[in-house]
A = this chain, B = another copy of it.
Amino acid sequence: MYLKAMAELSNHEAVATARLAEHLNVTPVSANEMVRRLSDQGLMIHTPYKGVTLTEKGRTIASNVIRRQRLWECFLYDYLKIEWARLYEMACSLEHATAPEVTEALAVFLGHPTVCPRGNPIPEADGSFTPLNGTTLNAITVGETVTVQAINATATDVLQYLYERRVLPGCTLTVIEAAPLQGPLTLKINEKEIVLGLSLAKFVITKPNPTE
């Protein structure tokens, strides 16, 4: 879980232990303890006051965890019709209980999908994968129209909130207004206007609208 959290949080730069604690719903002290244990195992490197980075070994394991996680998300969504917002949490439980044989057989069964239902890439069996190159929605200029590439959130309530507003991978939206003082964005999706706080907008990865 820590390794996965690391991979989920980091875009190659170091992750603050406080962010890890937050993401994993654990106290900062607990996160620190765990970081120490994983560092001792050679899976991450902790530079005090700077943050945590994965080692090669750690990154490989993390990739495999994410692979399992996202393959399950695909299965749960495409075959079991589990509701979109709960895919992450359910796949997250299954992931821990998945043997390598099952992971690979699942990949074959699913036809080697390359993205999960949240739009995030699925690492290859060898751990390699192309990270998303999109821009987070909070960084989009007012007036621009973009397509949602992925939702980077994992918390069910966040996913549920975005789902209800139809902010989903593949949808096209226009940034109508950005309130001052880091205020919320007003977006147009499917001819409807919605308001989205900046912290939520950070979870939305966008790419330039292909029709433009």
Contacts and interface: CB of A to CB of B under 8 A. Distances in A.
Interface of A: 76, 79-82, 86, 90, 93-99, 101-102, 105-106, 108-109
A102 B90 contact: yes
In the complex this chain forms, how many copies of it are found? 2
B109 A98 contact: no
21 contacts: A76-B102, A76-B105, A79-B109, A80-B102, A80-B105, A80-B106, A80-B108, A80-B109, A81-B105, A82-B101, A82-B102, A82-B105, A90-B99, A90-B101, A90-B102, A93-B97, A93-B98, A94-B94, A94-B97, A94-B98, A96-B97
Nearest to A89: B99
Contacts of A102: 76, 80, 82, 90, 94
- Of listed A76, A79, A102, residue having the most chain B CB within 10 A: A102
- Overall SS of chain A's interface: helix
A90 B76 CA distance: 18
A101 B108 CA distance: 24
A108 B99 CA distance: 24
Contacts of A98: 93-94
A160 B91 CA distance: 29
Nearest to A86: B101
A109 B109 CA distance: 14
A93 B82 contact: no
Among A82, A86, A94, A96, which residue has the most Cβ atoms of chain B within 10 A?
A94
